[in-house]
């Protein structure tokens, strides 16, 4: 009986080491519930639908207008490793703000690093993989990005 339980636990861990949908949903939720980030984005006290429309799970959108800021969370292509059964999975988080508020993007990125670095989801632990500096965005806006990595067994 004990061996069966141990095998089930190992199987659960092994099978749960790669679930991108679960990860991106939990990361969006973690960022979207953080009062510091919400206040920096002007979303303090906003409805959950408004928060979800401004902290999105994709890298592109078609409705950014006015003075609205946006956080985009998306996965990038996997990295190969020396071991063919292990891949590095990259999560990129970009923060778009009106150009006059460029410092806000850096403050948001600093807060995101505190929330996501060493954050565990199941058997996966995210680590800060570096900042991307200023990224291209719409005219009149400023974008700063960062990346996080976890290693998965395929």
Residue 7 reports pLDDT greater than 50: no
90: CATH:
3.30.2000.10
> Residue 64 in contact with residue 83, Cβ under 8 Å?
no
Residue 139 reports pLDDT greater than 70: yes
Number of structural domains found in the chain: 1
Beta-strand relationship, 86-98 and 120-121: unpaired
> Residue 31 in contact with residue 48, Cβ under 8 Å?
no
The pLDDT confidence band at residue 68, using thresholds 50, 70 and 90, is confident
Which parts of 82-146 fold into alpha helices (H)? 102-116
Residue 99 reports pLDDT greater than 90: yes
For residue 80, the model assigns a pLDDT of 84
Domain range for residue 14? 2-153
Residue 106 reports pLDDT greater than 60: yes
Question: What is the pTM (predicted TM-score) of this model?
Answer: 0.85
Residue 64 reports pLDDT greater than 60: no
The pLDDT confidence band at residue 81, using thresholds 50, 70 and 90, is confident
Residue 69 reports pLDDT greater than 60: yes
> Residue 118 in contact with residue 125, Cβ under 8 Å?
yes
Kindly state the average pLDDT of the residues 32-38.
Answer: 96
For residue 29, the model assigns a pLDDT of 95
């Amino acid at each position: 009986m004990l061996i069966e339980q141990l095998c089930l636990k190992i199987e659960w861990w092994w099978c749960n080491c790669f679930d991108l949908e679960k990860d991106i949903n939990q990361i969006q939720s973690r960022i979207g519930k953080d009062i510091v980030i919400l206040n920096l984005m002007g979303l303090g006290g906003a409805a959950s639908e408004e928060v979800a429309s401004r902290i999105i799970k994709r890298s592109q959108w078609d409705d950014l207008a006015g003075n609205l800021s946006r956080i985009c969370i998306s996965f990038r292509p996997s990295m190969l490793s020396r071991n063919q059964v292990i891949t590095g999975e990259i999560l990129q988080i970009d923060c778009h703000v009106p150009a006059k508020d460029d410092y806000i993007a850096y403050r948001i990125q600093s807060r995101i690093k505190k929330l996501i670095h060493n954050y565990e989801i199941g058997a996966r632990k995210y680590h800060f993989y570096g900042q991307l500096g200023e990224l291209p965005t719409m005219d009149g806006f400023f974008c700063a990005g960062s990346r996080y990595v976890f290693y998965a067994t395929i």
